[in-house]
Structure 1
Amino acid sequence: MGRLTEADPAVKQYASLVALTEDVVKTSAIERQLLDVASVRSSIARQLGIEIGALTPADRHIDGIVQMALGATAHHDQPVTTERLSAGLLGYFPRFLREAAQVDRRTKRLNRRVKAIDRGRILLTELPAK
């Protein structure tokens, strides 16, 4: 890899594909997420526009993780923003964020009810258990 700068563009693309695939799979393994290598490679190839022949289907979860890794690689010199971090977390924890959004919607509905009750001068001291 030391002399990759002088290599053919196709060789550079393939080397990048291999390195990024390994990076995504090993990084995810640290988080105890075992990803299918072929699905990760296909997702990276699809997102980078690299032709590798038959692509293995990748789910949204793998695509999200790959998107975060590619974004971190491409924008390594830029500060981490809330938007970038949220997009990355969605890739790693899609179920958690969906559930957090549901809790947020329920909290907003509950807050509206409490405000309506407060306007009617009824004090709410304890919320009923579900």
Structure 2
Amino acid sequence: MTAWLWQHKNWPNMVWQQQQLAPLLRGVYDRLGQLKGKSALVENNAEFSLDTLLANIVALSAIESEKVDVYAVRSSLARQLGINDKSPVKTDGSSEGLASLMRSAVTDLDETINLERLLNWHRWLFEHHESLIQKVEPGVLRGEAPMQIFLGLLHGRPFILKPHQEPI
């Protein structure tokens, strides 16, 4: 078994294996139905959706050791989703970018996830990011070197190595 999906012998020409995936997908759809049923019981569905999306952004940012202005991101999300925010606060490019990415991911479901869309998400994430040690050019692919992700800013060895750009 390979450590990385991109190192698999059939990458990127993977084959759908219906027999292995069907039971798993049935379970996912069953749980999705349960979740939809529970969410229908919530009185203020828009507020619930807003807080759920916000919780996802905060949790995903925490995984990357990024701190976000929760109130600014909430205001950005509310505005972009057309939800009346009872206490809007001043937003910035970073909160707008995070909100734009989340809104796009959950509302533009009919759009194809292609390189243009991925690079747009990348631009939204990094266009207003000023705390990076190494400058990231938003909305473009990295160069030929493999990407290295370090665990914390002070550790000297890579935690995750990503593939070279070519096989992607």
Contact 2:72 2:90 in 1 (8 A): yes
Letter in 1 for 2:105: A
Q: Residue deviations 1:45-89, cap 9 Å, x none?
A: 010111122311111111111111111112346431122111111
Contact 2:73 2:91 in 1 (8 A): yes
- Counterparts of 1:82-121 in structure 2, within 5 Å, are 82-94=115-127, 96-97=136-137
Q: Which has the higher strand share?
A: 2
Q: Which has the higher helix share?
A: 1
- Tell me how far apart the structure 2 counterparts of residues 47 and 78 of structure 1 sit (CA, whole Å): 18
- Counterparts of 1:21-40 in structure 2, within 5 Å, are 21-40=54-73
Q: Where does structure 1 differ by over 3 angstroms across 4 or more consecutive aligned residues?
A: 75-79
Give the unaligned 5+ runs of structure 1.
101-130
Letter in 1 for 2:38: R
Give aligned-pair identity as a percent: 30
Alignment size in residue pairs: 97
- Counterparts of 1:27-66 in structure 2, within 5 Å, are 27-66=60-99
* 1:5 equivalenced with 2:45 (yes/no): no
| CA apart distance, 1:40 | 1.0
Q: TM-score, normalised by structure 1?
A: 0.64
Give the superposed CA RMSD.
Answer: 2.1
- Tell me how far apart the structure 2 counterparts of residues 82 and 27 of structure 1 sit (CA, whole Å): 22
Q: Which residue of 2 aligns with 1:72?
A: 105
Q: Which has the larger radius of gyration?
A: 1
| CA apart distance, 1:29 | 1.8
Give the unaligned 5+ runs of structure 2.
1-34, 130-135, 141-168
Letter in 2 for 1:19: T
Q: Which residue of 2 aligns with 1:125?
A: none
Letter in 1 for 2:84: E
Q: Which residue of 2 aligns with 1:14?
A: 47
| CA apart distance, 1:5 | 2.1
- Tell me how far apart the structure 1 counterparts of residues 40 and 97 of structure 2 sit (CA, whole Å): 29
Contact 1:62 1:91 in 2 (8 A): no
